[in-house]
A = this chain, B = another copy of it.
Amino acid sequence: MKAFDLKRYLERRRRMVDSALEAALPAEEGPSSRVMEAMRYSVLAGGKRIRPILLLAGAEAAGGDPAALLPFACALEMVHTYSLIHDDLPAMDDDDLRRGRPTCHKVYGEAVAILAGDGLLTYAFETLTDPGAVSLAEPSLLNRAIFLLARASGIFGMVGGQTADVLMEGQPVTPQTLFFIHSRKTGALIQASVEIGGILGGAGTEQLTRLRKYGEALGLAFQIRDDLLNVEGDPDRIGKPVGSDVQRKKATYPGLFGMDGTKRRARELLRVALQALEPFDEKADPLRSIACYSVERTT
């Protein structure tokens, strides 16, 4: 792999996504303006934009034009942010801080936070099928992309993983259950981001299978890194207190396999991710570089 400036790439992409999100999110006067304000507050709070970037990089790897796929990339960030807003609610993880700022329900109250989450999830599908966006993709490919997004976000993905996570809190967890939670709660949407990018970017069947495999390994690597950062990360960099998983007796990789075993697992996943990309040319370098980053990142 030749030298690739990932930092610059991520920064450029993040700016593209941020502007597109800023433009895509509605702001309206009137009796429901508060929910739009809450949606903007949470989406525009910053964040790595890793899911939209993965969609664009997946499309790029398949030879597609990332700039044409920005509305679809934004939809992924809306779904991701909705899940954070709902996860932070008092009835769920009851978190006061997110990305170093008060959580949505702390600022807007519980009712508006629930509605802001609902609004973002729905608006993601509205964005995907907006007449302007629809013209950018072949209709049957778009339907496939919507199916993948819904599946990865729903009861067989994120919602299912979060259910298990909430219900298992404080209970002893087997490696099987941990894998169930990780792969669904975080892994599914990351995997879908890459695959949707591939589909909309024009990937063939063999390429898609490989992108799916890459995305699966990457998704798990990301969650494992999150678990590690929760133990040994810098609270100022990650924007929340360290050690909260242990305090809540949350199921984590380090809790089950120790720090060394967990780091070994992360390196193994990196190998799998890179191997899946072998037949791709240099247009897949962003994906390769993101895989390396996923096991090394400090935020």
Contact = CB atoms under 8 A, between A and B. Distances in A.
A221 interface: no
Interface in A64-102: 82, 86, 89, 91-92
A266 interface: no
Interface in A9-64: 26, 30-32, 34-36, 39
A31 B122 contact: no
A167 B34 contact: yes
Copies of this protein, total? 2
B114 A91 contact: yes
Contact of A140 (B30, B39, B134, B144): B134
Contacts of A232: none
A232 B55 CA distance: 54
B162 A115 contact: yes
Contacts of A86: 114-115, 118
B154 A119 contact: yes
B121 A122 contact: yes
A293 interface: no
Q: Is the interface of A mostly helix, strand, loop or mixed?
A: helix
Contacts of A153: 122
A117 interface: yes
A35 B111 contact: no
Contacts of A142: 139, 143
A166 interface: yes
A129 interface: yes
A143 B167 CA distance: 36
Interface string A125-165: 11011110010000110111011011101111001111110
A245 interface: no
A168 interface: yes
Contacts of A164: 30-32
Given A111-B91, A154-B122, A32 B160 contact: yes
Interface in A158-217: 159-164, 166-168, 177, 180-181, 184
29 contacts: A26-B155, A26-B156, A30-B164, A31-B164, A31-B177, A31-B181, A32-B160, A32-B164, A32-B184, A82-B118, A86-B115, A86-B118, A91-B110, A111-B166, A112-B166, A112-B167, A114-B114, A119-B155, A121-B121, A122-B150, A122-B155, A125-B125, A125-B146, A125-B150, A126-B154, A128-B146, A134-B143, A134-B147, A139-B143
Interface of A: 26, 30-32, 34-36, 39, 82, 86, 89, 91-92, 109-112, 114-115, 117-119, 121-123, 125-126, 128-131, 134, 139-140, 142-144, 146-147, 149-151, 153-156, 159-164, 166-168, 177, 180-181, 184
